[in-house]
Amino acid sequence: MKITIAQLNPVVGDIDGNLKKALQVLPQAHQDSSDLVVFPELFLTGYPPRDLLERSWFVERTQAALDALTKVSADLPRTGILIGAPQLTGKDTGNGLYNSALLIYEGQVLFRQHKSLLPTYDVFDEARYFDTAPQILVTPFKDDRLGIAICEDAWNDPELWKPRTYSFDPVEKLISQGATILINISASPFHAGKDKVRYGIMQNHSNKNHVPSVFVNQVGGNDELLFDGRSMCFDSNGDPIVILSAFEENVRTVDLAAAGKPDSYMPLDTIASVHDALVMGIRDYMDKCGFSSTVLGLSGGIDSAVTCCLAVESLGREKVLGVSMPSPYSSKGSVDDSRKLAENLGIRFKVIPISSIYTSYLDSLKEHFEGRTSDITEENFQARIRGNILMGLSNKFGHLLLSTGNKSELAVGYCTLYGDMAGGLSVISDVPKTMVYQLAHYINRQSEIIPGEIIEKPPSAELKPDQKDQDSLPPYDVLDRILQYYVDEHYSLQEIVKLGFDPEVVTWVIKAVDKSEYKRKQAPPGLKVTSKAFGTGRRMVIAAKYDV
């Protein structure tokens, strides 16, 4: 069987646009004598559609698009269509919708397979919207029997997961019914290293069951979620026939009768993949939200430098404005280094000093603060002044303001509400500080774009004389490892200390993470590149009291 993989980038909610994108693929697939064109999970609505699914008109429009697609298929003899869309259950109980894959052929819907395993962990909340499939069946199509699974349905192989999240394995059920081809349509979000996990899962299905398998994944950015694609096909021995590129649309017709090539898989490089994911995420967030230009503050530090480089790579230099806003405590190097970065990138660059505004703040509040020593309050005035200036430029010229804080700072609250946290998109908020340095070196892999002075200088907020981040924080390599254990892997204080960390440092980090929850609730959306990002995938209470 010849399969056309349609690794495409849908826009959530744009049913007509997604239908048009699907229709554009069909003529070439038909010309290639493709037997079946396979689109990703919930392609017509885009993934994740979230509470749009609770609106009846939205579901009705999706059905109208399916009807239109079915009608078009009548003019494509020999070429079937497999596409993801929500379907009404027709029941009086439950959520009333299935997450479905529809097999369309010659003007008819031949078969519907609904999703069985509905994830409710991390960023997923599918049980909020969908009901579980009442049954799992294979379907005959041409000379084969298709075993169709939807994303999570392929992720419960008992040989891979202990303990298992679900009580049964849909793929096992399909194989027991005589499936000769396994097809998985997915909207599987990216995080660093995930492509290796997916590869292992899909390869294992083919290798263990001795049938070809096809995995078709969505690509693109939808809010904080980034989808890398990396769709793939395996022969019945588990050898890859084709693995599509990451972070870009790709349509490929594949003959499943072809022999795969053992050892041809190359996993994505961690830092290169994070870089490319962030570049794609900025571009898609801008395009899908209707912005055409960006503004960001350039502090002379590594975080804003990396964010600026990512923005230029994503959008082009003409669409990026960098702004340096020196205060009384800014070093000469912070402005000079920012200017040099801007020159290297060829972006527009402004210098707007804030010393007089800062003095005005102090004078206005002098009598109200009488008798109290200067502290973090006055330091934060500077960050908030900068935030206001950047938001003013955003409002006046329609730029999207990019926030430049990293995951390490956001974790422990080393950031200022309504100051450096201001913005419409927080680009590196899921990138630990140590990884920020790795990204900087990757950006400079061919030539110096980020000045060496920026990479080499000790990190500083420059909100008071001779300030350094390490005056307030543990060394970033230590901090990031503790955060990995506490935030990502849910270790307790005692478990982390047993790994050899200083108990006082661990205690401080955990308390800082927990008491900063209210800040993160007010942060801009951030692009997810690790296995556990702050945002929709981490739901912690603010008003709470507990020991870890």
Q: Which residues are catalytic?
A: 41, 115, 151
**Cα–Cα separations (whole angstroms), residue 342 to 40, 55, 353, 392:** 40, 46, 17, 21
Contacts of 515 (CB under 8 A, 6+ apart): 413
Beta carbons of 491 and 485 less than 8 angstroms apart: yes
CB 153 within 8 A of CB 133: no
Nearest-angstrom CA–CA distance, 490 and 122? 13
- Helices (H) and strands (E) counted in the chain, each on its own, are 16, 19
Q: Can you state the angle between helices 332-345 and 302-315, rounded to 10 degrees?
A: 20
Distance (Å, whole) CA 66 – CA 161: 36
Element containing residue 56 per DSSP (H, E): helix 56-73
Q: Which residues contact 490 (CB under 8 A, 6 or more apart)?
A: none
Beta-bridge partners for 81: 37, 104
Return all residues near 222 (Cβ < 8 A) that are at least 6 apart: 11, 12, 46, 47, 48, 284, 288
Dist. CA 129–CA 481, nearest whole Å: 36
304 touches 297 (CB < 8 A): yes
- Which H or E element spans position 478? helix 476-483
Is the CB of residue 377 less than 8 Å from the CB of residue 488? Answer: no
Q: Give strand pairing partners of 290.
A: none
DSSP for 207-253, written as a single string? HHHTS-EEEEE-EEEETTEEEEB--EEE-TTS-EEEEPPBSS-EEEE
Q: Exposed, middle or buried, 353 (CB in 10 Å: 0-12/13-18/19+)?
A: middle
- The residue type found at 221 is G
For the beta carbon of residue 505, count every other beta carbon within 10 angstroms: 17
